[in-house]
Amino acid sequence: MPTQQLENTKQFLIQLAIAYGPKLIVGILFLVMGSLVAGWVGGAFTRWLEKRHTEPPIRMLLVRLVRLLVFSFFLLMAMQNLGVELVPLIAGLGVAGVGIGLALQGVLQNLVAGLLIIFTKPFRVGEYIELLHVHGEVMQIELFSTTLLHADQSRVVVPNRKIIGEILHNYGKIRQLDLTVGVALDTDLNRALALARETTLANPRVLKEMEPVIAVSQLDDSSIRIAVKPWVKLADYGPASGELYQALIAHFRSSGIRIPSPQREVHVIQKAS
Is 99 buried (19+), middle (13-18) or exposed (0-12) by CB count in 10 A? exposed
According to CATH, where is 2.30.30.60 located in the chain? 122-172
Overall CATH class of domain 8-112: mainly alpha
Per-residue model confidence as pLDDT tens digits over 124-156 = 888 999 988 899 999 988 888 999 998 888 999
Tell me how many degrees the CA angle 80-86-90 measures, rounded to the nearest 5.
145
Overall CATH class of domain 174-254: alpha beta
CATH number of 122-172: 2.30.30.60
- 218 in Cβ contact with 191 (< 8 Å): no
Tell me how many degrees the CA angle 173-174-175 measures, rounded to the nearest 5.
135
Q: Is the pLDDT of residue 203 over 90?
A: yes
User: pLDDT confidence of 92, banded at 50, 70, 90?
Assistant: low
244 closest CA partner among 151, 176, 159, 156: 176
CA pair distance 85, 25, nearest whole angstrom? 19
Query: How many CB atoms sit inside 10 A of residue 9's CB?
Result: 10
Q: What is the pTM of this model?
A: 0.62
Mean pLDDT of the chain: 82
